[in-house]
Structure 1
Amino acid sequence: MVGYKVGIILSHPIQYYSPWFRYLSKQLDIEVFYAHNQSSIDNASSGFKTEFQWDIDLFDGYKYRWLNNIARKPGINSFFGCDTPEIDEIIKRSKFDAFLVCGWNYKAYIQAIIASKKNNVPVIIRGDSNLISGRSHIINIARFIPYRILLPLIDAYLYVGKLNKEYLLYYGVDQKKIFFSPHFIDNELFTRSAQEAIDSGRAADLRGELGISNDSFVFLFAGKLLERKRPQDFIMAFMELINKRDDNKIHAIIAGDGPLRRELELLSKRHSSCIHFLGFCNQSKMPAIYKSSNILVLPSIFGETWGLVVNEAFACGIPAIVSDRCGCAPDLIDEGVTGFTFKAGDRDSLCEIMSLARDCYHARNFVEPLGAKLKNYSLEKASIGFLEALGATHNKG
């Protein structure tokens, strides 16, 4: 594969993609094109509420370029927020062997696809859409005919998990064009950072600061405080658990910020001694937060095409309780082994699963199965799939 020249377009710098670009740049001549330069204010408006920049290096180790975004309202919250017509001329003159497009949910992505097809550059698409994460059945039906016509025209697809593969097959993509390139995080970095959080005492210190004893059991919600992520279901199921068990050794940590925060704080006011709001937590802080917890809860009801916080938790040795509307559930959750699933929106079911997790946690060895699971959801596996797709679009390799 050495010698391939590959262009990649991504809406904006994403902390999960940067390690992959660094890894690929050691094997290929890649150049990444970013459609939008996300400011601290943009980050706040995308659901985080807090203005911030990621505290890890997103740009070291690979070639990248900022495109000129001419959108009337630049941003990543709408299809028209990324509009970069100059990609046409770039693809025309750059003689790429292939072009990787990370979805089709922005105008800039469609512009890159059209430019590549026009210049006979093979197009590889890596998205994570599925049929269950929130689109209504009517919308899926309405898209059926146009998608069945358009999607098979792409040269190759990378699927990130089982539901994403089902989506592509549903819309008529040839099985031979589909390659497994799973959703992943930098497993090694998170595992190492989690161990450092234990060794340095940072995880224990966090518990101490929150008034959580060493023998207490901690449920963690990590993410934006948005309606679709249903943090209120997490809190209400947790409060129901307290009432049922009369257990003063259970706590809930909410690591994240968003428009629902004030409402959630009021909701949990009666149990403020055991429900702890940390606000927005940057990437480098998360391993210590995972290690101060016992299990992650991801109760999203729509729009959760995957849920990479589950990968993060696994890399830190923490199992997860995941709703059945999260894209990662069929791939990552082996019931009772790596975690548990429940019906999205069913707080009673979530409460029961949380109680079960509390009871069986110390009797089960979650760490080894979590590590084994992540071997198939790694940077290396994602790269293998991409290289296979790249080879399939050419006679060489």
Structure 2
Amino acid sequence: MTKKLAIISTHPIQYYAPVFQLLAKKMNIKVFYTAGNSSLEKYDVGFKQKIEWDIPLLEGYEYEFLENIAKDKGSHHFKGIVNPYAITQIKKCRPEAILIYGWAYNSHLKIIRHFKNKIPVYFRGDSTLLNQKSGLKNLFRNLFLTWVYKHIHAAFYVGTANKTYFKKYGLKDEQLIFAPHAIDNQRFGNIRLKDSSKIRAQFQINEEEILVLFAGKLDPVKNPKLLLTAFKKLNLNNVHLLIVGNGELEESLKEQAKNNDKKIANIHFLDFQNQTQMPAIYQACDLFCLPSNSETWGLAINEAMASGKAVLVSDKVGCAVDLVNGKTGSMFKHADLMDFTQKLIALTLDKSELKIMGENSLKYIQNWSFEAQVNAIVGYVNR
């Protein structure tokens, strides 16, 4: 008999809702959204627009929006989620265990502390040590995080870098269960060829030419400027760059592209595209790049690999150690223009080699699935 599991999350997220839908088929769950009803209409500061995902996020599982009385509501800071009746509402569903996504909110930390030693409290997060700094402030942070994770019965880690993080703050191997970070592999892999061909045709890119893709927020953390700078150094007529997204760097990137008249015809921009449009865009490219200066995981890499594409990733992207190798793509030293340019040149020498890497990516990513993640959670909770 399966246990009743209460799940605590800030708001409906396109990468979590399918997991909840699958979990609901295998066990008794109820999801509590702590950011409140207003979280459905979310203005994304990074994309500089209101984002309403075009895939169903509230179907196939039981859920409840908790009242959020925070003055400045949102998941961008600790005091942005304050639920005075959270514990009472959670108790009403009589859970036998709790799975909580993230601790860094007022209510989430209170929930963790309240239910410690009452019922098992499981944790899900993807933090890493990749950008850890030294100093007195970091020492206090280390002590605080060690205290936080003493309240956790077990954690479902997303990958190698995340496991290292949990171990640093006191969790033991027996408390750590691998539940791979994942996306809908099937949705990104099963796109019609004509849909991706339309993308290439839109920008007059021939099939024999190579298309390099970046998709995400155009901000300094994602570092698309490094990619654009390196691309200009390629100076190859048969290689194109497509930058998809919006954000604070948008105008400066477009201006940077204009300053290179010789290559402007090979540099293309496309506004933010929703979830149903992204599979065709990934399928249209030959190489996906994520040059981030900081990225706890980088689910865009999962999406690109599920689309059968080679990848080029910085060493500050959490998934790199698990997903990126010589067979699926390359990893470069973050913010290092020379290293990045050399890796980009090597990868764009031969389109047929990129195709082989893409095929390897598609095979490899099959083990990083929603099904594997759900099976790990169900198996451990009901053990």
* Smaller-chain TM-score bracket: over 0.9
Q: 1:172-225: CA deviations, max 9, x gaps?
A: 111111100111001112112x2x2x1xx1211111111212211111001001
Aligned to 1:128: 126
CA distance in 2, matches of 1:229, 1:148: 29
**TM-score (normalised: structure 2):** 0.94
Aligned partner (choices 251, 258, 273) of residue 240 of structure 2? 251
Contact 2:5–2:29 (CA under 8 A) maintained in structure 1 = yes
Bigger drift between 88-97 and 227-236 goes to 88-97
Shift in Å, 1:165 = 0.3
> Are 1:260 and 2:258 matched, yes or no?
no
SS at match of 1:266: helix
> Are 1:289 and 2:281 matched, yes or no?
yes
**TM-score (normalised: structure 1):** 0.91
Q: Give percent identity, aligned residues only.
A: 36
CA distance in 2, matches of 1:374, 1:33: 30
Shift in Å, 1:32 = 0.8
CA distance in 2, matches of 1:153, 1:189: 37
Contact 1:5–1:96 (CA under 8 A) maintained in structure 2 = yes
Q: How many equivalent pairs are there? A: 377
> Are 1:108 and 2:100 matched, yes or no?
no
Aligned to 2:9: 10
Structure with the higher helix share, 1 or 2: 1
Q: How does 1:1-397 map to 2 (within 5 A)?
A: 2-36=1-35, 37=37, 42-45=42-45, 47-117=46-116, 120-132=118-130, 134-138=131-135, 139-192=137-190, 194=191, 196=192, 198=193, 201-242=194-235, 247-269=236-258, 270=260, 271-302=263-294, 304-334=295-325, 336-363=326-353, 365-391=356-382, 397=383
CA distance in 1, matches of 2:72, 2:271: 28
SS at match of 1:254: strand
Query: What amino acid does structure 2 have at the position aligned with 1:265?
Result: K
Report the aligned-residue RMSD.
1.7
CA distance in 2, matches of 1:40, 1:251: 36
SS at match of 2:161: helix
Shift in Å, 1:117 = 2.3
Contact 2:9–2:32 (CA under 8 A) maintained in structure 1 = yes
Shift in Å, 1:81 = 1.3
CA distance in 2, matches of 1:388, 1:39: 31
Q: Residues 375, 213 of structure 1: CA spacing in aligned structure 2 closer, same or farther, 3 A cutoff? A: closer
CA distance in 1, matches of 2:206, 2:358: 22
